[in-house]
Amino acid sequence: MIDAVLFDLDETLLDRTASLRAFLADQFGRHAGSLGNVGMEQWREHFLALDRRGQVLKTIVYPAILAEFGGEAGAYQTLFADYASRCSAFAVPFDAMLSTLIAIRSMGLPIAIVTNGGTEFQTKSIEALDLHKLTDAIFISEREGLRKPDPALFVRAAEQLGVPPERCLFVGDNPVADILGAAATGMRTAWFRGAQQWPRELPPNPGATIDRLDEVLGLLAGVR
């Protein structure tokens, strides 16, 4: 029995890569003079490689990419501030995000977002996609003082929704932070695979695998 659905944010509801690609093209156009000897495509793709799907702090990425292409060393502060204030304006949802969330709500199931990241930055992205209007609770690691895969964060979310962890479904893209973290509490899981492969060094995927958000609805139909 599934009585609540919890989602990760980045690369699950928010197409972070597409959003970041759009932002970086815009940022390059406005700051090209300080970025060194590099074209937009090369700069953007190298930024994405250094970023590693959000696993590397931008306070590390910007100085590194400026140094590699001979940009102005002091420009990283301006670029980072620009990223922090403007990136959410380019937020792009994954296909079927809205229809999936509306369908889940029509089933009477509460929905929560559980995401790692800074409170202000993640809140901007959440509001840009109107997710604060489509969910019942939002848990951001900085605000909660806990980070996935800490089981305590998943348990806190379930408790606030009033649902035991074993009757929650967690949907996320990160094998460790999302899937193994949620599974450790007894939650059922759905790994939003994208272009990834499940890492061989990890235990097997403990739950379902999906390639589109609306596949969550089929999972719910099978267990309700």
Identify whether the C-beta of residue 155 lies closer than 8 Å to the C-beta of residue 167.
Answer: no
221: confidence class by pLDDT, cuts 50, 70, 90? confident
Give per-residue pLDDT as tens, 1-12: 999 999 999 999
pLDDT band per the 50, 70, 90 thresholds, residue 121: very high
What local confidence, expressed as pLDDT, does residue 197 receive?
A: 95
What are φ and ψ of residue 116, in 5° steps? -80, 155
Identify the CA nearest to 145 among candidates 125, 127, 168, 118.
Answer: 118
What pLDDT score does 61 carry? 97
pLDDT of the residue at 222: 65
pLDDT value, residue 218: 95
User: Yes or no: is domain 4-15+92-223 CATH 3.40.50.300?
Assistant: no
Q: Output the pLDDT for position 141.
A: 98
Average pLDDT over residues 73-80: 95
Query: Which positions ≥6 away from 3 have C-beta within 8 Å?
Result: 109, 110, 163, 167, 168
> How is the chain split into domains, by residue range?
4-15+92-223, 16-90
